[in-house]
Amino acid sequence: MVLKWRVLWMVMLGTGFILGSTAAVTERKWADVSNNATVCDGRKTYAPPSNLALYSEMDDSTYLQTLSGDWHVISTINFFEKSWSCFRGTLRVDNSTGCIVADWSFRVPLKDTPFAMTDRLCLTPNARREKFTLTSISMPDWLRKITAEDNRVVETLEIAKPSGSHSDVVDWVVLFDCGNWLTPSGELFFLSRTENVTPNTMDYVRAAVKRNGVNDFSVLGKC
């Protein structure tokens, strides 16, 4: 049985926020706005994704289609997520809104219980596809506002180069959810089409993450 987000957020509120937020807040500072950086709590610098320009000939709809499909979530930077496993996502383009709908599922070490939640990701106008706004549509409006999961800024830190004849599908992408009061250090989503990532790709992604002023990430458990 899949438990709804209500139980998940109780766990996060009771552990992640109470135990970790105070220490995390003291480490965080607003990013320097120079060098094309933008204010995003949870990182200290911003390096525009070097490979994103390779998708510039696509229109927005086609670009979003390259992100659709099934993904494995490889990473986390939050201590309460380190024990999560089998974190997967299915992304699809909602033609009525022009946004991505992301269905997530994962397991936590609470009797190996599965959880599920759904987000909507919309490209931010005039942001050169570097930014999305996220809305957690599996929450009611009042809870989204309390937890700041309504129009949360999500940045693209890096993306894989188009892969030849399969350029219509992105192999991996790194997204960063800017910090809010629940996760003040932000959230890092290293998404990969495969559960096993090559050492070269892992090293490349770690370097991209560090260029953005985010400390190294932990690798989540596999299915």
CATH number at residue 163: 2.40.128.20
What is the domain extent for residue 188? 5-214
Is 191 a member of any domain? Answer: yes
What residues have CB less than 8 Å from 134, skipping those under 6 apart? 119, 120, 121, 149, 151, 152, 153, 154, 177
pLDDT of amino acid 60: 93
Is 220 a member of any domain? Answer: no
pLDDT of amino acid 164: 59
Is 201 a member of any domain? Answer: yes
User: Which of the residue ranges 83-92, 156-165, 169-178, 201-210 would you say has the lowest mean pLDDT?
Assistant: 156-165
How many domains are contained in the chain? 1
Of the candidates 49, 33, 83, 35, the residue with the CA atom closest to the CA atom of residue 209: 49
pLDDT of amino acid 20: 41
Q: What is the mean pLDDT of the chain?
A: 82
Is residue 197 over pLDDT 80?
yes
- Model confidence at 90, pLDDT cuts 50, 70, 90, reads very high
pTM of the model: 0.82
Long-range contacts of 91-100 (CB under 8 A, 24+ apart): 91/67, 91/121, 92/68, 93/61, 93/64, 93/65, 93/68, 94/120, 97/122, 98/60, 98/61, 98/64, 98/122, 98/123, 99/64, 99/123, 100/64, 100/67, 100/68, 100/132
pLDDT of amino acid 85: 94
- Residue range 87-104: mean pLDDT, rounded: 96
Is 221 a member of any domain? Answer: no
Q: What is the pLDDT of residues 108-157, one digit of tens each?
A: 887 677 899 999 999 998 778 899 999 999 999 998 888 888 889 999 99
Is 34 a member of any domain? Answer: yes
